[in-house]
């Protein structure tokens, strides 16, 4: 067993010695989400968030993880076709792996395919209801669609899970002003 995740918090060191599995069902996530919600230190929150993303990024299957690396790299290089091929393969071969759906949702959002993005975000959230990244992405999609009330709800849910989430407060303030101005 390996010590695969640790961060320093003042004098305390939090680390985990459990089998590496990754994905949304990894047992190391629960204490990270508890710590994320309870910390008042934004730097510590960023480290905890990085740990959560690291675990979400591991499927427990080396081939799926390789496809994820290919898809993320292709998305970063604006090669949507290669990214879509990789993410489609992931969602087909590992349909219970939330991050595969989340990454494809991100690709669809970037391509302006908002309805496809929403469908994949909903699948992500079915598998991992704590996925603050998917909730934030849902907020961005709804903003792009001009559905401010739904966007506000999504960002508020993300902030409930991750109180230090970068950018969420700004979106919430802006959206509250818009929604309030409409009387909605």
- 49 and 94 belong to one structural domain: no
Neighbours of 75 (CB within 10 A): 20
Tell me, yes or no, whether 73 lies in a domain.
Answer: no
Query: What tens digit of pLDDT does each residue of 99-129 get?
Result: 999 999 999 999 999 999 999 999 999 999 9
Residues 34 and 100 grouped into a single domain? no
State both tokens at 162: 């991750």
Q: Is 5 exposed, middle or buried, given 0-12, 13-18 or 19+ CB atoms closer than 10 A?
A: buried
* Token pair for 30: 């629960």
Check whether residue 19 and residue 96 sit in a common domain. Answer: no
**Domain count across the chain:** 2
Question: pLDDT digits over 67-92, tens only?
Answer: 999 999 999 999 999 999 999 999 99
Residue 82 lies inside a defined structural domain of this protein: no
Kindly report the CATH number assigned to the domain that includes residue 176: 1.25.40.10
Confidence of residue 5 (pLDDT cuts 50, 70, 90): very low
Kindly state whether residue 77 falls inside one of the protein's structural domains: no
Cα(157)–Cα(128) distance, integer angstroms: 13
Same domain, 47 and 97: no
Query: E strand or H helix at 50, and its extent?
Result: helix 42-56
**Is 70 part of any domain?**
no
Q: Please check the confidence at residue 3 and state whether its pLDDT lies above 60.
A: no
83 located within any domain: no
Is residue 85 a part of any domain in this protein?
Answer: no
39 and 122 belong to one structural domain: no
Verify that 26 and 101 share a domain, yes or no: no
Residue 113 belongs to some domain of the structure? yes
> 44 in helix, strand or coil?
helix
Residues 52 and 7 reside in one and the same domain? yes
Share of the chain above pLDDT 70, in %: 88
Domain that holds residue 99: 90-182
- In this structure, are 171 and 100 located in the same domain? yes
């Amino acid at each position: 067993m390996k010590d695969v995740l640790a961060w320093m918090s003042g004098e305390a060191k939090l680390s985990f010695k459990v089998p590496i599995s990754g994905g949304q069902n990894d047992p190391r996530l629960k204490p990270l989400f508890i710590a994320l919600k309870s910390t008042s230190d934004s730097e510590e929150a960023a480290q905890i968030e990085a740990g959560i993303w690291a675990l979400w990024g591991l499927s427990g299957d080396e081939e799926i993880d390789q496809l994820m690396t290919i898809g993320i790299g292709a998305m970063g290089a604006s090669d949507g076709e290669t990214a879509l091929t990789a993410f489609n393969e992931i969602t087909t071969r590992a349909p219970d792996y939330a991050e595969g759906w989340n990454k494809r949702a991100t690709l669809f959002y970037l391509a302006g395919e908002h309805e496809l993005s929403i469908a994949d975000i909903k699948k992500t959230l079915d598998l991992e209801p704590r996925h603050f990244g998917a909730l934030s992405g849902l907020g961005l999609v709804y903003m792009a669609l001009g559905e401010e009330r739904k966007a506000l709800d999504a960002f508020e849910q993300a902030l409930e899970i991750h109180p230090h989430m970068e950018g969420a407060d700004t979106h919430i303030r802006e959206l509250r002003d818009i929604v309030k101005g409409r009387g909605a």
